Chains A and B, each alone.
Chain A
Amino acid sequence: MEKSIIIEQEYPYSPEEVWDALTDQDQLNEWLMEGNFQPRVGAEYEFYWVNRAEKDKGKTEGKVLEVLKPKKLSYTWEGGGSSTVVTFFLEPSAEGTKLRLEHTGFVPQKDEFVYNGALYGWKGRLANLPAAIAKRQKAVA
């Protein structure tokens, strides 16, 4: 049976502003990962888990499936033989924009093996998170 992750989050910014943050690689560098994403159906992309200079430490790659500005963005999310799909839905809300993330297509047994290999990268990144946030807050202040 396939499994999915669904997360909804609201942002006090317009769907266009959120859309740009989801599709412009310069902005993706800031909150997701470094890579070469382009919002064009069929375009292939790579996201580097650590950064561009250390792309050998791991990457996610895939192909853009759907680009419906500023409502829906969908791309495959592949690595080490597993293929899943990430879809963002945007909808205007009283607060600004409601974003719904769906990460679908996890096949438990096969992906578990793949995932364990990927784990190291995420663990390191998450461990660095508090320091990174503190650094950024300092830079803003």
Chain B
Amino acid sequence: MSRPFTSWDVYKAISDPNRRIVLDLLAHGEQPVSAILVRVELTQPALSQHLKVLRKVGLVRQRRAGRERIYALNPKPLKEISDWLKHYEVFWHEKLAQLGEHLERTHGPRKKAKHVSH
């Protein structure tokens, strides 16, 4: 990643129901991948992808124990987005992205816009 993680990235990470199930599981304590797998309706590769996303935004930590990979929850990024101002920031990022999609649906695709800053 070339830019720092934002609350928007964290919010996107937790907007997926499967990833929320994983986080709920880990909220009760660290778990090996095999134990997570039996609790979610996912294939191993799909679970790996979700865990990768959660690791990227810093919501879970991984350690190795023999051949097992053990995952643990890191709630710090969640604490950060519980800040009310950040929620509105996330809200507007979502809405302005939807505005772009709306314009494209209404007027047809044009040259790709770029994100200026936030």
Q: Chain A residues in contact with chain B, CB under 8 A?
A: 3, 5-13, 17-18, 21-22, 27, 30-32, 95-96, 98-99, 101, 103, 106, 108, 111-112, 115-116, 119, 122, 126-127, 129-130, 133, 136, 140
Q: Per DSSP, are chain B's interface residues mostly helix, strand or loop, or mixed?
A: helix
**Pairwise interchain contact A115-B84, C-beta atoms closer than 8 A:** yes
Residues of A within 8 Å of B40, CB to CB, are none
Q: Which residues of B contact A95 (CB under 8 A)?
A: 111, 113-114
Q: Mark B52-95, 1 if CB is under 8 A from A, else 0.
A: 00000000000000000000000000000000110111111111
A116 to B102, CA, bound (A): 29
Instruction: Give B98 Cβ to nearest chain A Cβ, in Å.
Output: 4
A3 to B84, CA, bound (A): 11
26 contacts between A and B (CB under 8 A): A3-B85, A5-B88, A6-B118, A7-B96, A9-B96, A9-B99, A9-B116, A12-B110, A13-B110, A22-B99, A27-B102, A27-B106, A30-B106, A31-B99, A31-B101, A31-B102, A32-B98, A32-B99, A96-B110, A98-B116, A111-B84, A122-B87, A122-B90, A126-B90, A127-B15, A140-B105
A12 touches B112 (CB 8 A): yes
Q: List chain A residues, Cβ under 8 A from B93.
A: 7
Cβ–Cβ contact A116 & B84, under 8 A? yes
A10 touches B85 (CB 8 A): no
What's the interface size class on B, roughly? 35 or more
**Chain A neighbourhood of B98, CB < 8 A:** 30-32
Binary contact track B16-38/A, C-beta < 8 Å → 1, others 0 = 11001000000000000000000
When the two chains form their complex, are residues A17 and B89 in contact, meaning their CB atoms are under 8 A apart? no
Give A21 Cβ to nearest chain B Cβ, in Å. 6
